[in-house]
Structure 1
Amino acid sequence: MSQPGRPRAASFGTALVALLTALVLLAATNGAGAEDTESRPRPPANWSSWQFDQTGSRFNGQEYRITPANVGGLDLKWSFGHAKVPNIYLGSQPAVVDGTLYVGGAEGTFHALDAKTGAARWTFDVTPVAGAHSTTNPDPVRSSPAVEGNTVYFGDNRGYLYALDRRTGALRWSLKLDTHPLAQITSSPLVYNGQVYVGVSSKESGATFDLTYPCCTFRGSVVAVNAYTGQLNWRHWTTPEPQPAGTWPNGANRYEPSGVAVWSSPVVDRETGTIYVGTGQNYSGAAGDTDSVLALDAYTGNVRWRAQEVFPDTFTVACGIPGADAYCPSKANGTDHDWDFGASANVFSIGNRRVIGIGQKNGIYHVYDALTGAKVWDRAVVADPNTKGGSSGIQWGTSYDGTRLYVATWFANPGTLYALDPATGAILWQTQSPADGCQWGGAAANPELCQRGFTPAVTATRGLVYEGGADGKMRVFSATTGAVLWQYDVVRDFTTVNGVPAHGTALSGGGGAVVADGMLYVQAAYYPQYPSNAGGVLLAFSLP
């Protein structure tokens, strides 16, 4: 019974040898002229939104040009200057798609630039929609754009959402998302399934620096807008409508509850159609989704679950004015925390369990079950998570590369970059803002301003982590060890491609570094603003 099988085995072996021989001969014939996979042209590694992807990873795994081996060779290729607008901290993170960079400006403008050269392609002025802007009534575009198809979406400081033709800059539609005079859009859009999701925040907390201001009447929200028509589909209010509640000691009208702004950019779990977003604190009263993580049905806006980490938390800038305790009632019972979620979330998996993680301004990174909201783990990355004010905590956003979570703290004495185990929260490595950061470069001339803090949202590519600081240094770290592999001082004057005088300052919060198609882009226009008569600057770096 075994004999019939022998001829078949022999013929199979003969055929296999012949096939292998042919492949070897083909390779030899092609010789040096044959391209390997790595040398073939690849599509550009785009970065199309604040989140990079809809799950908020801030990880560009398609970027292969900049590597741990060559990142030390990064050098400035071009710079783009922003107009000087007093007291404006620019945080619009660029989007880079198919060779064009899109970014908001400090002076009510939105720009499309050649990503390789910085040359202008078009500029859109929001004035015809939002009204005139000036140094006393500015309208910066702090929101970071999102590009989907042939449309680019972004918000402005007066509460408008815009949709432009990304090739020409022509206005497709605009929509004022909130009629409150102090509403603004710092959240960057998320485009998903034909809808644009964005949070609505406010300048009203800062208005209370004037104690005669009738605090407070703004309430935050999350909205879904039709991406093609600009029609509002649904809105989730984060707090009940403010009602008259007597007067303040100086006779100014008092309203409550209020606040619970949405500063951060939403993310989505496509498998369940769930939008995740964090919220801020109350400005007055104590009600609503204060300091919460919301899971919203993407189609209806209904709440699937909420996780409220701190309640109550009522805080405005009046809480920091000496002698003004009567205008900060929460100070009496210690609930003036300012521990909102200004950071965006990361959606990822632990084994077969879908989870979302998000950083809070008190310095705790929380992980929840994505379906139920049950806490999976949390990790404090500051010495004292009970420190009020939130400036020591996690400000804007974190990154996940499939292996590690990357989390940075701001003024945590010092700010520190962490790599966490996504399954447990265990600290894999940590790197403090370098001790000499305030002793060299432009910040050394103003040591009273310089601080060792990591300001922007964290960004990652394969093997690398990108994070800038309040000391004016942009740095790239090893993803495996946390070692600093490259740094650049931005606190200096720049000759810009658009001829606008520019002087770099702290690396901008709100957004973070963008790495796309072999280039690194960062905004240097944030707090602390080192003295200069020039405006901030967008910087573009590349390898030689």
Structure 2
Amino acid sequence: MLKHSRRLLASLFVGSLLVNAALVAGVQAAENLDGDSLYTQYCAMCHTAPQDDRTPPRDSLTTYTANSIFRALTEGIMQPQGAALTAEQRIALSEYLAGEPMREESTEMSVASSRCELPMPEFDLSLASNWNGWGNGLSNPRHQAATGTAINASNIDQLELVWAYGLENASVARAQPTIINDVMILGSTSGEVRAMDLETGCDYWTFEAPREVRAAVTIAFSSTHDTWLAVIADVSNQLHVLDARTGELKWSAEVDPHPYAVSTGSPVVYDNKIFVPVSSAEVSAAGRPDHHCCTFRGNVAAFDLDTGIKLWHTYVMEEATLAGENSLGNPFYAPSGAPIWQAPSIDPERRIVYAGTGQNYSRPASNSSDSVIAFNMDSGDIEWIHQTTADDAFTMACALGREHPNCPDAGPDVDIGAPIVTTTLSNGQDIVVAGTKGAVLVGLDPDNNGELLWSTRVGRGGALGGIHWGMSFDGDVLYVPVSDRGGLNSNGITPMPGLHAVDMKTGEVLWYAPAPERCQEGQQGCMEAYSGPATSSDDVVIASSLNGYLFAHDAQTGELVWEFNTVQDYQTINNVETRGGSIDATGPVLSGEYMVVSSGYATFSQMPGNAILVFKLRSE
């Protein structure tokens, strides 16, 4: 029997491996270890002829590792569906779907890469070259000025790959690194967090979180502890605070006790407080016909950095109550949903925390779904709400057809997935900007309860973006990647995948650079779409595509100045078989002469991969 870590998680694909009606009767599966019959019984109704682009067809499941499928069924977002199977059946099904046996997991973290011989350099949070957390700033600009990066439009073609790291037995690479004084802190699908030397990739320390760490790590200094602390959120919705010099755990805390609560967005630290956004896997659990949908509600919690004491915990709607029965006679509850699955933004002057929410899971819907919400950072009180799409309710039950008992008369599922950005413009206007999966940008007035200043459409939009994972801004200009992939929520508007530059004073589109077409005929999972977040420096904007390429655009004109195909095999410093794939969910990180990129994202039928790639400007 293979040894499986309790940390296993790889939220592979939402809406997959849904169970059959035997679950309705609460019947535990018999000990059937035939993968083909298990697929027929538990998976075929969803994967043989998918009704939704978010559900991968049967053939694409062969691109996953067996370990990845097992992780999703055991501790991942598909755990409610996997609960119908024994551990042995999950192994048999995973191996059948992947077309390969389960692989041994490393039993010691130290085997993955070498330990650093030299001591870790002292952290200095004031260094311009740092990239701290998800957005490299309290307002999530995803910008690195020329003082912090040597990479620009004229020399980006001199980047060369200096080392690569492979995530073991993974089909997705969606953890974005944090870099402080040439120390890179990186999470992983297995839950391992590593502090690594940026030049060589050696390990200073490792920490083992219970579940996958996909959120970027945030570093903050604690005068109480007289050290730098690393703030980590794992997907099980546990918060861990470590000594960033040694990896020693200082404290851990549960954020939201709801059984389906997860952490996907990165925690943000300000004024000795940690602000943690909370998302949910109940959107997938609702695919089980017997699930009593739904009771999760999006929330943000604030913790004291030094002690771990929870300072406040605010839900974006009232507690769900019984709202009726579905077609099977099971109770359903409302309001629910509106998860927050990205890093919040901080407005120090107004002492406000901004977060964007997702769709409702049940009806009646709330006024806080698909919304920008302003929380008072001291009390947690909601100061104002601006809803971008009203009455939007959706669960993955709808992927099986709108007649599913847990499909709540499906809305367009065009929530706010990208972090909110906030800044002061050159005309003196303070502004809050949000982008939706419906490909709509809104500029809001933070001094007038989020009143709409302007609204701009930058594409067709859809449940897989539209504006998906993140934007970047520099001065008045916002750089907006648009996916517009697939046929979801087509509204007759022409798709506009690519990069859009928008003047935040007016909402005017300054230029549009279409996503370059690089997919080869028959290349499974390859898509021409900018779904991942963009990263900018003073004269160049780097976007990534679901076709696995990195594309650099001139910041003034949108002209394509450089590209790199990450879909290839790599020799890695930890000797793990590694290949790049679609780039999604996370974007390039710039620090000094380096650029770091995660490549591979098997979710939603995209190209799998498990590569962390470290580039450096070539020495002349």
TM-score scaled to structure 1, two decimals?
A: 0.83
- Which residue of 2 is the match for residue 392 of structure 1? 465
Q: Which amino acid aligns with 2:256?
A: D
- Which residue of 2 is the match for residue 367 of structure 1? 443
Does the Cα contact within 8 Å between 1:258 and 1:284 map onto a contact in 2? yes
Matches within 5 A, 1:13-28: none
- Which residue of 2 is the match for residue 91 of structure 1? 174
Matches within 5 A, 1:97-246: 97-127=180-210, 139-149=211-221, 150-246=228-324
Q: In structure 1, how many angstroms separate the alpha carbons of the residues matched to 2:478 and 2:563? A: 22
Q: Which amino acid aligns with 2:508?
A: A
- Which residue of 2 is the match for residue 484 of structure 1? 560
- Which residue of 1 is the match for residue 328 of structure 2? 250
Deviates more, 1:288-297 or 1:98-107: 288-297
Matches within 5 A, 1:420-431: 420-431=502-513
Q: Which amino acid aligns with 1:163?
A: V
Does the Cα contact within 8 Å between 1:114 and 1:120 map onto a contact in 2? yes
Does the Cα contact within 8 Å between 1:186 and 1:264 map onto a contact in 2? yes
- Which residue of 2 is the match for residue 407 of structure 1? 480
Q: In structure 1, how many angstroms separate the alpha carbons of the residues matched to 2:310 and 2:432? A: 27
Q: In structure 2, how many angstroms separate the alpha carbons of the residues matched to 1:530 and 1:253? A: 36
Matches within 5 A, 1:278-427: 278-285=356-363, 286-322=365-401, 324-331=403-410, 336-350=411-425, 351-372=427-448, 373-382=450-459, 384=460, 389-412=462-485, 413=495, 415-427=497-509
Q: Which amino acid aligns with 1:339?
A: V
Q: In structure 1, how many angstroms separate the alpha carbons of the residues matched to 2:501 and 2:477? A: 6
Q: In structure 1, how many angstroms separate the alpha carbons of the residues matched to 2:464 and 2:584? A: 15
1:269-293 CA distances to partner (integer Å, 9 max, x unpaired)? 1111111111111111212511110
Does the Cα contact within 8 Å between 1:354 and 1:369 map onto a contact in 2? yes
| Alignment gaps of 5+ in structure 2 | 1-125, 222-227, 486-494
Considering fraction of residues, name the structure with more strand: 1
Does the Cα contact within 8 Å between 1:491 and 1:530 map onto a contact in 2? no
Q: In structure 2, how many angstroms separate the alpha carbons of the residues matched to 1:288 and 1:216? A: 17
- Which residue of 2 is the match for residue 540 of structure 1? 614
| Alignment gaps of 5+ in structure 1 | 1-41, 128-138
- Which residue of 2 is the match for residue 452 of structure 1? 528
1:130-182 CA distances to partner (integer Å, 9 max, x unpaired)? xxxxxxxxx31111111112111121111111111111111111111111222
Q: In structure 1, how many angstroms separate the alpha carbons of the residues matched to 2:139 and 2:553? A: 23
Structure showing greater radius of gyration is 1
- What secondary structure, in the 3-state scheme, does the structure 1 residue paired with 2:361 have? strand
Matches within 5 A, 1:435-450: 435=517, 437-439=518-520, 446-450=522-526
Pair 1:179–1:161, CA change in 2 (3 A):
same
- Which residue of 2 is the match for residue 57 of structure 1? 141
Q: In structure 1, how many angstroms separate the alpha carbons of the residues matched to 2:581 and 2:400? A: 26
- Which residue of 1 is the match for residue 541 of structure 2? 465
Q: In structure 1, how many angstroms separate the alpha carbons of the residues matched to 2:403 and 2:557? A: 47
- Which residue of 1 is the match for residue 5 of structure 2? none
- What secondary structure, in the 3-state scheme, does the structure 2 residue paired with 1:79 have? strand
Q: CA deviation at 1:300?
A: 0.7
- Which residue of 1 is the match for residue 577 of structure 2? 501
Q: Do structure 1's residue 78 and structure 2's residue 155 form an aligned pair?
A: no
Does the Cα contact within 8 Å between 1:431 and 1:482 map onto a contact in 2? yes
Does the Cα contact within 8 Å between 2:303 and 2:310 map onto a contact in 1? yes
Among all aligned residue pairs of Structure 1 and Structure 2, give the percentage whose two residues are the same amino acid. 31
- Which residue of 1 is the match for residue 591 of structure 2? 516
TM-score scaled to structure 2, two decimals?
A: 0.73
Q: Which amino acid aligns with 2:188?
A: G
Does the Cα contact within 8 Å between 1:294 and 1:306 map onto a contact in 2? yes
Q: How many residues are matched?
A: 473
Q: In structure 2, how many angstroms separate the alpha carbons of the residues matched to 1:531 and 1:70? A: 29
Q: In structure 1, how many angstroms separate the alpha carbons of the residues matched to 2:348 and 2:269? A: 12
Does the Cα contact within 8 Å between 1:214 and 1:255 map onto a contact in 2? yes
Counterpart among 121, 124, 132 of residue 48 in structure 1: 132
Q: Which amino acid aligns with 1:343?
A: A
Does the Cα contact within 8 Å between 1:158 and 1:181 map onto a contact in 2? no
- What secondary structure, in the 3-state scheme, does the structure 2 residue paired with 1:329 have? coil
Q: In structure 1, how many angstroms separate the alpha carbons of the residues matched to 2:337 and 2:173? A: 22
Does the Cα contact within 8 Å between 1:411 and 1:451 map onto a contact in 2? no
Q: In structure 1, how many angstroms separate the alpha carbons of the residues matched to 2:236 and 2:357? A: 19
Does the Cα contact within 8 Å between 1:63 and 1:462 map onto a contact in 2? no
Q: In structure 1, how many angstroms separate the alpha carbons of the residues matched to 2:314 and 2:423? A: 25
Counterpart among 514, 525, 528 of residue 600 in structure 2: 525
Q: CA deviation at 1:525?
A: 2.5
Q: In structure 1, how many angstroms separate the alpha carbons of the residues matched to 2:566 and 2:550? A: 7
Q: In structure 2, how many angstroms separate the alpha carbons of the residues matched to 1:275 and 1:155? A: 18
Q: In structure 2, how many angstroms separate the alpha carbons of the residues matched to 1:410 and 1:371? A: 32
Q: In structure 1, how many angstroms separate the alpha carbons of the residues matched to 2:297 and 2:479? A: 32
Q: In structure 1, how many angstroms separate the alpha carbons of the residues matched to 2:384 and 2:607? A: 46
- What secondary structure, in the 3-state scheme, does the structure 1 residue paired with 2:283 have? helix
1:286-344 CA distances to partner (integer Å, 9 max, x unpaired)? 1251111011111111122111122211101111213634432323xxxx121111111
- Which residue of 2 is the match for residue 433 of structure 1? 515
Does the Cα contact within 8 Å between 2:527 and 2:606 map onto a contact in 1? no
Q: Which amino acid aligns with 1:438?
A: C
| Aligned-pair Cα RMSD in Å | 1.9
Q: CA deviation at 1:465?
A: 0.5
Q: In structure 1, how many angstroms separate the alpha carbons of the residues matched to 2:389 and 2:127? A: 45
Q: CA deviation at 1:85?
A: 4.1
- What secondary structure, in the 3-state scheme, does the structure 2 residue paired with 1:205 have? helix
Pair 1:274–1:140, CA change in 2 (3 A):
same
Q: Which amino acid aligns with 2:453?
A: V
Q: CA deviation at 1:447?
A: 2.7
